[in-house]
Every structure is written in structure tokens, then in C-alpha cells.
Amino acid sequence: MQPEIVTLARRDRLWFYDCARAELPVALGALEAWNLIMSEPQPLMQLAFRIRDAISARFGVRRIGGFSGTRHERVEVGDRLDFFLVERAGPHLLVLTERDRHLDVMTCISTAGKEVAITSSVITHNLYGRIYMLPVGFAHRLIVRNMLRRLRRRLMRR
């Protein structure tokens, strides 16, 4: 069985799509995967968010501040995981969104057995959203794959 993949729209309507998968040494639920990934932030992530916020604020985009590392025992639809709104929540699926006038972002964390998938989809609404996604899209792919590698290594050490 494969992890469920949820996106904002069909792939041909998306400005950005990325799905990264990893086989883990143990089975995890979606929220457990989120908690483990966010508990050990990658080096330079806070700096990247500060730069993002400083530039984006000039274009009327709300500051998001980055990831807090706060552990959550449970989440429900309507809760927030840092700057993300929880749109769907189940044992093996978390669908998180952030929407503004420039773009809509959806991140789906899903698990099936020992496999975890992180899928991100973006629809842009204007030129700023498209320009913003050029460097962010490139960096996102690297960051998410690194997060999954770090998660796998951490679980192997247990």
C-alpha cells in the first residue's frame, strides 16, 4: 500500500509539485513523522525564514516566522501547526495549508506502513507568487529530501 497523496488541484493546474518519499526502519503515523522532523530543525532554517519574512513583508505577505519545534499529541481540522492550517488530520494523513493573495500552498504528510511521503503543491495567483516560487521551489526539494534523510538516520539510531 502507498501513502495517500493529496494536492491542491490536478498536477496540470499546479505551479509547483514535489513528492518525496522515504522507507523508514519503523512505521510511523503522520503526526509522529511531523513531530520528529520538526523537533530537530535543519541548520540555517531559522535564518532562511527570517530572510523570507524580511523580503516578503515588503510585498504585503504575512510573516510566518518558521517552525517552532513544538510537539503535538493530537491535531484536529482547524488547528495550526506553526503557520500551517490543518485541513485534514488522520492517523496516516496530515494535510496542511497556507494561503494568501499571492499563492496557495498545501503540504501533505502521509504514511503507509514504513513509507512516508511529503507532497507539496502550489497554485500561484500573481507575478509575485511565481517569482517567489522560483528560489523557494528549488530550495524546497533539497530541504524536504534532507528532512527525510535525517528522519531515517534518527530512527535507525534508536
Which residue segments constitute the domains of the chain, with CATH numbers given? 11-157 (3.30.530)
Between CA 102 and CA 64 the distance in angstroms is 14
- For the four alpha carbons of 52, 53, 54 and 58, in that order, the dihedral sign comes to positive
Only one residue has cell 507575478, namely 127
**CA-to-CA separations, 1 to 14, 87, 113, in angstroms, rounded:** 26, 23, 8
* Structure confidence by residue, pLDDT tens digits, 126-153: 999 999 899 889 989 998 999 999 999 9
* Structure confidence by residue, pLDDT tens digits, 15-53: 999 999 999 999 999 999 999 999 987 767 777 777 777
Contacts within 8 Å (CB) and 24+ apart, 72-77: 72/31, 72/34, 72/35, 74/31, 75/31
* Structure confidence by residue, pLDDT tens digits, 75-121: 999 999 988 999 999 999 999 999 998 999 999 999 999 999 999 99
Q: What is the pLDDT of residue 48?
A: 76
- Which has the closest alpha carbon to 9: 125, 103, 123? 123
Q: What is the pLDDT of residue 150?
A: 94
Please say whether the beta carbons of 81 and 96 come within 8 A: yes
Higher per-residue confidence, 53 vs 124:
124
Between CA 43 and CA 59 the distance in angstroms is 27
Residue type, 52: R
Averaged over 49-71, what is the pLDDT?
Answer: 77
Q: What is the pLDDT of residue 116?
A: 98
